[in-house]
Amino acid sequence: MPLQIAPIKAHFSAETFLPTPSAAQPPPDHLRLDTCGGRVRVEWDPHAPVTLLGQLVFFTQFLETSGRFDLWVKDCPWTYTSPNAPAVRDVCSTVLLSVLTGHHRYAHGSALRGDRVNAPLLGMRQVVSEDLLRRALAKGHGQAADEAAVAAWLQRHLRESYGTLNRGP
């Protein structure tokens, strides 16, 4: 005689069913984002090749929203007194862009000089020269900055950017 098993309901009587998803909505054709350089309109082509800094606009939106970049620039120990000197924001932005682009030599920073898309996202007026980058990062530049002050500034802001991740609930 075969074994007979009574059927068991798969769902309890009080359990509700999730609605079946309707057809997926197509993504919007553009977004408006607030960056350090102001509001920008982002459009994309899903069939176009991916670029190295294609997602930088979203990172600059994070920097603007969190205020991390403005605090980093404001706390920078570099001071420039010459009338021909660049703005501290331009020096910091060039350093950041160079790092994000994967540069590991000061000379590679010169490749950013022709960038008309990403530099304005950080609110830059100009991309500074490789010589200025080298002097700024070597031992600080200007009156009050020295190597220890620059190292402390960078370490403090790096720690503040990930510090909340290490704290428990």
Rounded-to-integer distance, Cα 169 and Cα 164, Å: 10
The reported pLDDT for the residue numbered 82 is 84
Given this model, what pLDDT does residue 89 score?
Answer: 92
**Which residues pair with residue 38 across a beta bridge?**
35
Q: Percent of the chain, pLDDT > 70? A: 77
Residue 71: predicted pLDDT: 93
CA 123 to chain centre: 13
55 with 116: CB under 8 angstroms? no
pLDDT of res. 11: 61
- For 52-83, the pLDDT digits (tens) are 777 888 888 888 888 889 999 999 888 888 88
Residue 3: pLDDT band by 50, 70, 90 thresholds? low
β-bridge pairing 30-35 and 38-43:
antiparallel
Q: Where are the domains of the chain?
A: 55-166
Query: Whose structure tokens read 């309707």?
Result: 22
DSSP H or E run through 41:
strand 38-43
Instruction: Map tokens 């007194």 to a residue.
Output: 81
- 122-141 pLDDT per residue, tens: 888 888 888 888 887 765 55
Give the residue from 135, 162, 140 showing the smallest Cα distance to 153: 140
pTM of the full predicted structure? 0.70
- Residue 73: per-residue pLDDT: 93
Q: Give the model confidence (pLDDT) of 89-133 as tens digits.
A: 998 988 888 888 887 777 777 777 777 778 888 888 888 888 888
